[in-house]
């Protein structure tokens, strides 16, 4: 990852969401992006130029644009029409973002558009976040990395955030994923945690029912 002093940056065309620049690089703000926050509070995953990424919950492309600055290609899945309009504009200005308007619960619908990826990144804020991630692991290469951004309040507001966190980790482990890192994203994002896993291989990933 590129840092100028203590500041995380990416190198690419700026002006995506009014981000600041520092010595010609785009400042990647941990308050605006959970992935940036992960690089401040934990280790995360090193993004590299040959990396292929499947990004679930692309929204208007804020984080997607930074990931695309570092990697080969970012398949970017979003199901809401309004953020998709912004995402299309971000994709128009970069050669390596593939916007896909689809429900991340239905990976079979976008399977023809996506190749095997090195990194699966998920930020969908849904009740069934673990299931969605497990389903989409079908695209993840053996040895690849899953980064799941968990919004505990989206899973179950009645449960303690710590309990939701542990349940989610347990579900990923039960599916055969190896947990590398699990960390809260405070002070940047309240009630959000990041879970970083490796897909060992070859392995049969169990579960992934999603709400249907
Ligand atoms: N990752 C974005 C960023 O850092 O710039 C922010 C993502 S926002 C928290 C969550 C996004 O996930 C929303 O835009 C929402 O529409 C999208 N989303 C939620 N459920 C989804 C699903 N099942 N399939 C596709 N997108 C979904």
The best mutation among 125, 155, 191 to test binding of ligand 1, ranked by most ligand atoms within 8 Å of the C-beta, falls on: 125
- Residue 182 maps to a domain: yes
Give the range of the structural domain holding residue 119, as residue numbers without chain letter: 29-198
Q: Quick one: which of 87, 83, 121, 88 has its CA closest to 104? A: 121
- Residue 187 maps to a domain: yes
Where does the pLDDT of residue 107 fall: very low under 50, low under 70, confident under 90, or very high at 90 and above? very high
| Cα–Cα dist 32/75, whole Å | 21
Section 107-130 average pLDDT? 95
Give this prediction's pTM.
Answer: 0.94
User: Number of structural domains, the chain?
Assistant: 1
CATH (domain of 60): 3.40.50.150
Q: What pLDDT was estimated at residue 212?
A: 40
Whether 104 is in the pocket of ligand 1, judged by its Cβ within 6 Å, is: yes
- Residue 33 maps to a domain: yes
The atom number, within ligand 1, closest to the CA of 60 reads 5
Whether 79 is in the pocket of ligand 1, judged by its Cβ within 6 Å, is: yes
Q: Quick one: which of 117, 150, 164, 155 has its CA closest to 136? A: 117
- Residue 170 maps to a domain: yes
Whether 129 is in the pocket of ligand 1, judged by its Cβ within 6 Å, is: no
Whether 84 is in the pocket of ligand 1, judged by its Cβ within 6 Å, is: no
Q: Quick one: which of 76, 48, 52 has its CA closest to 64? A: 76
Whether 161 is in the pocket of ligand 1, judged by its Cβ within 6 Å, is: no
Quick check: 203 pLDDT over 50? no
What tens digit of pLDDT does each residue of 52-97 get?
999 999 999 999 999 999 999 999 999 999 999 999 999 999 999 9
- Residue 2 maps to a domain: no
Residue 32, token pair as written in the block = 């605006």
The atom number, within ligand 1, closest to the CA of 32 reads 4
- Residue 66 maps to a domain: yes
% of the chain with per-residue pLDDT over 70: 95
Q: How far is the CA of 56 from the centre of ligand 1 (A)?
A: 7
Q: How far is the CA of 142 from the centre of ligand 1 (A)?
A: 25
Quick check: 25 pLDDT over 50? yes
Q: Which strands sit side by side in the sheet containing 97-101, from one edge to the other?
A: 97-101, 73-78, 52-56, 117-122, 140-151, 192-198, 178-184
Whether 203 is in the pocket of ligand 1, judged by its Cβ within 6 Å, is: no
Q: What pLDDT was estimated at residue 155?
A: 82
Helices 62-70 & 34-41 angle (0-180, nearest 10) = 60
CB 44 within 8 A of CB 147: yes
Q: What is the DSSP letter of 111?
A: G
- Residue 9 maps to a domain: no
Q: What pLDDT was estimated at residue 156?
A: 80
Whether 33 is in the pocket of ligand 1, judged by its Cβ within 6 Å, is: yes
- Residue 171 maps to a domain: yes
Report CA-CA distances (Å) from 161 to 17, 44, 56, 165, 183: 30, 21, 22, 6, 12
What tens digit of pLDDT does each residue of 140-195 get?
999 999 999 999 888 888 888 899 999 999 999 999 999 999 999 999 999 899 99
């Amino acid at each position: 990852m590129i840092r100028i002093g203590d500041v995380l940056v990416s190198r690419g065309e700026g002006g995506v969401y009014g981000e600041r620049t520092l010595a010609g690089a785009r400042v990647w703000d941990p308050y605006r992006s959970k992935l940036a926050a992960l690089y401040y509070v934990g280790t995360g995953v090193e993004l590299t130029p040959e990396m292929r990424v499947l990004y679930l919950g692309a929204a208007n492309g804020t984080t997607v644009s930074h990931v695309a600055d570092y990697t080969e290609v970012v398949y970017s899945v979003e199901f809401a029409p309004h953020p998709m309009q912004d995402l299309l504009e971000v994709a128009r200005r970069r050669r390596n973002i593939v916007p896909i308007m689809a429900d991340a619960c239905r990976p079979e619908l976008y399977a023809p558009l996506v190749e095997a990826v090195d990194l699966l990144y998920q930020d969908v804020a849904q009740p069934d976040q673990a299931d969605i991630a497990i389903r989409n692991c079908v695209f993840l290469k053996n040895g690849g990395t899953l980064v799941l951004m968990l919004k505990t309040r989206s899973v179950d507001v009645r449960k303690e955030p710590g309990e939701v966190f542990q349940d989610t980790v347990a579900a990923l482990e039960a599916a055969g994923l190896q947990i590398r890192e699990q960390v809260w994203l405070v002070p940047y994002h309240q009630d959000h945690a990041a879970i970083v896993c490796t897909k060992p291989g070859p392995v049969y990933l169990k579960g992934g029912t999603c709400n249907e």
